[in-house]
Structure 1
Amino acid sequence: MSEVTVAQLAKVVGIPADRLLGQLVDAGIQAKGLDDPISDEEKSRLLSHLRKSHGKQGKSIVSSPSKVTLRRKTVSELRQPTASGRSTPSRRAPVGASKTVSVEVRKKRTYVKRSAVETSEAALKEAEEARKALEAQAAEQAKIEAEALARRNAEQERLHAEEAAGRLKAEQEAKAAEELRQKEEKLRLAAEEEQRKQAELKRQEEEARKQKEAGRTAKPRSEPKKPAESKGPGKDSRFARKELHVSADKRGKRKKRQPPGARRRGRQGAAPENQEHGFQRPTAPVVREVLIPESIAVAELAQRMALKAAEVIKVLMKMGMMVTINQPLDRDTAVLVVEELGHTPVEQKDEDVEAELLSADEDSEMLGEAVTRPPVVTIMGHVDHGKTSLLDYIRTSRVAAGEAGGITQHIGAYHVDTKKGTVSFLDTPGHAAFTAMRARGAKVTDIVILVVAADDGVMPQTKEAIQHAKAAEVPLIVAINKIDKEDANPDRVIQELSQEEVIPEEWGGDTQFIRVSAKTGEGIDELLDAILLQSEVLELKAVADGPAVGSIVESSLDKGRGPVATVLVRSGTLKRGDMIVSGREFGRVRAMFDENGRSVKSAGPSIPVVVLGLSGTPEAGDDMRVMSDERRARELAELRHERQRDTRLAAQKAAKLDEMFSKMAEGETQTLNVILKADVQGSVEALKESLVKTSTDEVKVRVVASGVGGITESDANLAVTSGAIIIGFNVRGDAGARRVVEEQGIDMRYYSIIYEIIDDVKKALSGMLSPEIREEIIGMAEVRDVFRNSKIGAIAGCMVTEGTVKRNNPIRVLRDNVVIYEGSLESLRRFKDDVSEVKAGTECGIGVKNYNDVQPGDQIEVFERTEVARVIE
């Protein structure tokens, strides 16, 4: 290769000339300017230097080139004859007849090392494989994108189809409703037209009759006699029956009226001769099986029987019921109507519809594997026996100090991580008013701890707790509390409990008795050991994975957070964001907190949590479950809400009828109307039950409205309308409610302890009771003789045998110990003097007012009436 300058090499390589000069100096090549020549050997040295600087040492381009190129050059001469003649050996061509051409042939051949060829082929092969892999990856990615696009298109088509089907169904329903309305309107107009024609016909008949009687119907003989028009059921009553008047010779010759569009069809082709429709009237009545839910509207019942609502209303009117088309009917009434119309009623239970909605979600509940869960322990017992204090010591807090009056008003749910293991506790109130709350606690619990004070013994609520535990078939552990007191007598407690069939293990029974002290902590460890031992015997297990199922322990309405519910999870795991349904309420879990107010993300079996996000406050004791989607949860909640509303309306109607009949039979009953508002749902139920129990045959408590939350202006207006008193339990009235109360003078009272509510209501009912009339015999006189006078009547000479006879008191006349007259004294005399009273052992004269048949031997009984105010116990 020929030499090149530094500038030319920099231009060929494509780098700046200054940079190339620096590289040449680093390689040890003497080059001072851009015009200095560089040989092939120097180029090789430069290349070796650059390779070494890039980490490719040991490789020499000069010593072992990958390919060698050889160049060959050969020169030959060719003689080219001229165009005028050919060259012959005998005849020599003239000078200049041919010319000689020099031909130069250059050959270039390149020899490549075998290793380089193999390396090149391997590189080409790898490149080909890489290209194929990239093409396969691109094809796979394109396939995945095509499938995703197809799925999206299919989903969009399905949604469009569902939307179109929904619109079509709505249009069909609207069209059917419009057609039904038009038919009913046509029938109504036809009926009105018929009534008008009948009235007009009667009027014309009446006018004709009057004209005939007055003699004004005669016509002159010259006038032709017109045929008489019969307006009523005379010889020719065809007008009344709306028959056609056709002469005999033309009958049968009229053309049949063609339906609309017949001429147009006639142009296209002849219509078939047989124009009859294919419908045939059934030979027997159609008997349908009609599903009857717990409550059904009149219109829906008629639709299920394929009848008009007017026919159903007619049957109900015959049965003595005035109803409207949208009025709900109870199941018994609907069954009677269906049987009266000749169909077969079939009872439809709302539980079946509810079970159908829950079937898909219940199948997924049992898919997980059951694992051991913590026990749920309910603490029960009498008031002030130390239930909350015992739990307070276990979880090292001060719960009892914050309770009103030192008693528990709500159900408390806590889970405690002890050295012995995790235990969930339910603390239930001990007062008699909270029987329903304690019953709910026994339903969701695994073990019941019965707390009995060693200084007080077995009390009424203690016996009640034993009954709840036995009814729920839950094992019982007795904790004898307050053993640190001086007057404690645990043996007496054991003796009294044995009379209630609670036998300790020491006596051969199956109940563990633990002596504890909530004040000093004595026996707490033994109590926890007993709880965990009992839970091991029960082998408590639950499915931890899957949708959660639990129970509502308590619910309330918080002003800042909305509906708040305490949930005890029975199985599965409740997570933040789950869609839950409980009773008539549903919603998505927006937040969860433990008993200490700390936010948690999930809760497993036997763990109580506070849940936010429900649409309302559910009933305490309702089941809670996680639903797969919001639509299913909404349908289930609406079904339950509608069922409860229909049941309540039916019950109110029955109650009004029963109340009316009772008033007709027994007279008016005094009623105390109450509007009850409380802080939590459990307290509302307990108060309602306690207040209703205070009712008697003469006075009754009627809870007009009840709910959770503060007292609002609408509650005050309802109290004005119904004449009720407002009771607030741990709640207060807002500004609007207080304004209405002050203006209208409503009785609104606040309470924080349930004893005071029950006592005040009993006092109010006692004031409504009519006083009790008591009679007391104060004197008895025996008639010895009777003196009769024409002016003053019969005067009985008597001897007072008992007590005192007073003039102004009522009397009874007895003959052979039978009352024959009841009245009053007209006169009472001692000798000739009028006296006011005569004592025992003294004679007197008695004149009985308006009664002269007094005989010797009769007895005159003197008594007095006193009114005693009655009190409800």
Structure 2
Amino acid sequence: MCRFHRPLHGDLGVKIEPEVEKKGDEIDTTSLDRLKDILESEDKKDLEPRPPVVVVMGHVDHGKTRLLDAIRKTNVMGGEAGGITQHIGAYQVMVPFKNETHGKIENRSLTFIDTPGHEAFTVMRSRGAKVADIAILVVAADDGVQPQTKEAVKIIEAAKLPFLVALNKIDKPEADIDRVKAQLAEIGLQAEEWGGKTVIVPISAKAGMNIDKLLEMVLLLADIDKEKIVSNPNRRAVGTIVESHIDPQAGPVATLLVQSGTLRVGENLAINFALYGRVKALKNWKGEFAKFAPPSMPVQILGFKVAPAVGDILEVPESVKGLEKKLKPSYLVQEKSVITQPIQVAAGEEAVAKKKYSIIIRADVLGSLEAILGSLERMIHPEVGVEVVAKGLGSVTDAEILRAAATGAHILGFHVPIAPKAELLAKQKGVTIKHYKIIYDLLGGRVSDGRAENNVKARIMRNGEQVGSGEVVELQAGRQKVKDALAGQECGLKLQTKDAVEVGDKIELYHEEIKERKLGF
């Protein structure tokens, strides 16, 4: 029997292996250039210091969210499916710091951007790096450098961000700090104590070890670049949208990271010279109402006519005259965003069109919608292609049902409800609707003893008691399908079960054999 520990979640997501060609849904480089022009055109005499913006990156399950939780002294992880922070957020905290000039303790602000660690969120992590001043790369001392670790390093280096490594989980018995430092050195991150230039701070987010030292090092990095961490608080506000969604009561809501200027209640909102609405209310990351938001402050804005896209550059216009009125968000345009490519065949044969799997995607927030599309884009199959007939935010309505019926598409909903009338219409039209809480379909964990295998039975154990059962239908290691995984190895398994799996559950795998016994008379 094999015991499999540390699963993420058992709400299995969509498993299709398509080839997708994505069109649109990319950040407008014109708006990014405009932001760059605005920030670089400021008169130096108008610039004042602002709080540093820190982006936290790391491989899934390496403790990034727990680190942010330790910093904020509040628990935000419990309600997330799979223990993963699926909605990008931004938070601002006060950090005690000793001023070397006069020796007094001062409180300094730091803004943290939380980017999900799962590999499906590449787009969101890249976006986070574009608005940050400093990066923290979280690496688990018991797991070491992983594919997403390397990916995060590439993003950080491409953005030319100063960064440090938070070597997490040092309190675990299997932690091996020197081994992980050697792995980091192999990818070009040589520790300072080994003669390199990379700051590595050993921490335990769970136990709260060395969190103060980590923050101290972040502030020291900020002080080195203090001439760049400035802005003009007295100009019209400009910043980047870091989250966007449709609230059932409040309508379109978005989170803005103010990068220059000060945003105030009552001001107009423009994106790409189009009027998107007017600020009715502002809320800080604690959910408290605010009258204004200065540079580096993340703020939730109510008052949009339509929800902006994550990554949009928002600014307060000098005048609304000449601005186009935005009536329909670009990411909700009902056009086919994927086309099917012909299969390459041997010479002399005719190209055969791939089989299509048509889908309509509905998600609760734009970040998740883009992550789902990005995940589909990376899946390749020689015979099957996915056609995204429509995509958008909010609940599944009659419109999606009718479109699915007309195109033969399946509807995939992520964290969204279905309207009662739409559910009845779906039954009448024979439309398939699938609901998912998370956008990945593997449990992640470590084999504690024995050997994990494919096509075996499973018991779901919680606090020493069996709470469910199932069958392993797929096993992965390093993103590759494998036949087995040995004790001590990290792996992922796809579990076919009707029972919910929770963080901390143990999965016991076993073979079931039926032996016939003949009785002689």
Using structure 1 for the length normalisation, give the TM-score.
0.43
Q: How does 1:367-382 map to 2 (within 5 A)?
A: 369-382=46-59
Counterparts in 2 of 1:367 and 1:752: CA distance versus 1, 3 Å: same
Return the letter of the residue paired with 1:418. V
Instruction: Say which SS state the counterpart of residue 109 (structure 2) adopts.
Output: strand
Are 1:444 and 2:134 matched, yes or no?
A: no
Which of structures 1 and 2 has the bigger CA Rg?
1
The question of 1:754 aligning with 2:439 is answered yes
Conservation of the 8 A alpha-carbon contact between 2:359 and 2:411? yes
Asked if structure 1 preserves the Cα contact closer than 8 Å seen for 2:332 and 2:391, the reply is no
| 1:488 paired residue number | 175
The structural deviation recorded for 1:633 is 3.7
**Rounded Cα–Cα distance in structure 1 between residues aligned with 2:45 and 2:412:** 48
Q: Could you say what secondary structure the match of 2:236 adopts?
A: coil
- Cα distance change on mapping 1:643 and 1:517 into 2, 3 Å: closer
**For residue 600 of structure 1, what is the aligned residue in structure 2?**
290
Q: CA deviation at 1:515?
A: 0.9
Deviations 1:373-427 (A, max 9, x none): 1111011001111111111111110011221111111212100112231000011
| CA contact 1:710–1:733 (8 Å) conserved in 2 | yes
- Does residue 426 of the first structure (1) align with residue 113 of the second (2)? yes
- Find out whether 1:618 has 2:305 as its counterpart: no
Please say if residues 575 and 602 of structure 1, whose CA atoms lie closer than 8 Å, have aligned partners that are also in contact.
yes
CA distance in structure 1 between the aligned counterparts of 2:233 and 2:110, rounded to whole angstroms = 16
Paired residue secondary structure (2:299)? strand
Match of 1:395 among 65, 68, 72: 72
The corresponding residue for 2:192 is 505
Q: Is the 8 A contact 1:368 1:544 kept in 2?
A: no
Structure 1 residue 718: Cα displacement? 0.8
Q: 677, 682, 685: which one pairs with 2:370?
A: 685
* 3-state secondary structure, aligned to 1:401: coil
Residues 169-211 of structure 1 deviation map (CA, whole Å, 9 limit, x = unaligned): xxxxxxxxxxxxxxxxxxxxxxxxxxxxxxxxxxxxxxxxxxx
- What's the offset of the Cα at 1:475? 1.1
Residue 212 of structure 2, aligned match among 522, 525, 543: 525
**Mapping of residues 195-206 of structure 1, within 5 Å:** none
Q: 1:480 to 1:741 in 2, by over 3 A?
A: same
Give the Cα separation in 2 of the matches to 1:622 and 1:374: 22
Aligned counterpart for 1:739 among listed residues 394, 418, 424? 424
What is the CA distance between 1:361 and its match in structure 2?
8.9
**Pairs within 5 Å for 1:89-104:** none
Find 1:706's aligned residue among 384, 387, 391: 391
- Give the partner amino acid of 1:377: V
Would you say the 8 A contact 1:368–1:546 is kept in 2? no
Query: 1:395–1:726: structure 2 CA closer, same or farther, 3 Å change rule?
Result: same
1:45-77 residue CA offsets vs partner (Å, 9 max, x unmatched) = xxxxxxxxxxxxxxxxxxxxxxxxxxxxxxxxx
Q: Provide the C-alpha distance between the structure 2 equivalents of 1:659 and 1:641, rounded to a whole number of angstroms.
A: 32
Letter in 2 for 1:495: A
Q: Residues 428 and 660 from structure 1, CA distance in 2 versus in 1: closer, same or farther, beyond 3 angstroms?
A: closer
Q: What is the percentage of aligned positions where both structures have the same residue?
A: 43
Secondary structure of 2:324's counterpart equals helix
Distance 1:450 1:728, change over 3 A: same
The answer to whether the 8 Å contact 1:692/1:700 transfers is no
- Give how far 1:498 is off: 0.5
Count of residue pairs the alignment pairs up: 402
Aligned with 2:233 (options 530, 541, 544): 544
Q: Distance in 2 between matches of 1:603 and 1:376?
A: 15
The answer to whether the aligner puts 1:666 opposite 2:351 as a matched pair is yes
Matched position secondary structure for 1:380: strand
Change (3 A) 1:670 1:588: same
User: Is residue 2:63 matched to residue 1:386?
Assistant: yes
Find the residue that maps to 1:439 and give its secondary structure.
Answer: helix
Partner of 1:112: none
Structure-2 separation of matches of 1:634 and 1:576: 21
Q: Equivalent residue for 1:456?
A: 143
Structure number with the bigger relative contact order (C-alpha 8 A, sep ≥ 6) is 2
Q: Shift of the alpha carbon at 1:696? A: 2.2
Matches within 5 A, 1:151-190: none
Q: 1:642 to 1:745 in 2, by over 3 A?
A: closer
Of Structure 1 and Structure 2, which has the larger fraction of its residues in strand? 2
Which residue in the other structure is 2:276 paired with?
586
Matched position secondary structure for 2:353? coil
The 1:758–1:414 alpha-carbon spacing in structure 2 relative to 1, beyond 3 Å, is same
* In the alignment, structure 1 residue 609 sits paired with structure 2 residue 294: no
SS in 1 for 2:219: helix
Root-mean-square deviation (Å): 3.4
Q: Which residue of 2 aligns with 1:631?
A: 321
Alignment deviations for residues 644-664 of structure 1 (CA, whole Å, 9 cap, x no partner): 98xx98x97x969x77999x9
- Cα distance in 1 for partners of 2:322, 2:173 equals 61
Q: Which residue of 2 aligns with 1:346?
A: none
**Conserved in 1, the CA contact under 8 Å of 2:308 and 2:329?**
no
Q: What residue is the counterpart of 2:93 in the other structure?
A: 416
SS at match of 1:674: strand
2:343–2:353 CA contact under 8 A, matched in 1: no
Deviation at 1:508, TM superposition (A): 2.4
State the distance in 2 between where 1:356 and 1:506 align: 39
**Structure 2 alignment gaps of length 5 or more:** 1-27, 98-107, 445-472, 474-521
Cα pair 1:413 1:425 within 8 Å, conserved: yes
Aligned to 2:246: 557
Aligned residue for 1:567, secondary structure, equals strand
State the shift of 1:610 in Å.
Answer: 0.5
Aligned to 2:412: 727
- Map 1:741-820 → 2, pairs under 5 A: 741-756=426-441
* Change beyond 3 A, Cα 1:483–1:362: closer
Matched residue, 1:204: none
The CA deviation string for residues 144-184 of structure 1, in whole angstroms up to 9 with x for no partner, is xxxxxxxxxxxxxxxxxxxxxxxxxxxxxxxxxxxxxxxxx
Q: How far 1:700 moved relative to its partner?
A: 0.4
Question: 1:376 touches 1:445 (CA, 8 Å); kept in 2?
Answer: yes
Paired residue secondary structure (1:756) = coil
- Please say if residues 365 and 546 of structure 1, whose CA atoms lie closer than 8 Å, have aligned partners that are also in contact: no
Distance, in Å, in 2 between the alignment partners of 1:728 and 1:758 is 20
Contact 2:405 2:429 in 1 (8 A): yes
**Cα distance in 2 for residues equivalent to 1:463 and 1:659:** 33
What is the alpha-carbon distance in structure 1 between the residues aligned to residue 203 and residue 36 of structure 2?
47
Compute the TM-score of the two structures, normalised by the length of structure 2.
Answer: 0.71
| Contact 2:343/2:354 (<8 A) preserved | no
Which residue is 2:454 aligned to? none
Which SS does the other structure have where 1:738 is aligned? helix
Establish whether residue 567 from structure 1 lines up as the match of residue 256 from structure 2: yes
Shift in alpha-carbon separation, 1:710–1:567, aligned structure 2, 3 A:
same
Structure holding more helix per residue: 1
Equivalents in 1 of 2:36, 2:149: separation in Å?
A: 41
AA at the equivalent of 2:397: T
Counterpart mapping for 1:165-244 below 5 A = none
Unaligned runs of 5+ in 1: 1-349, 764-873
Q: What is the distance in 1 between the residues matched to 2:262 and 2:165?
A: 32
> Partner of 2:160 in structure 1?
473
SS at match of 1:687: helix
CA deviation digits over 1:276-318, x for unaligned, max 9?
xxxxxxxxxxxxxxxxxxxxxxxxxxxxxxxxxxxxxxxxxxx
- The Cα shift of 1:758 comes to 12
CA 666–356 in structure 1, closer or farther in 2 if over 3 Å, else same: closer
| Contact 1:375–1:447 (CA under 8 A) maintained in structure 2 | yes
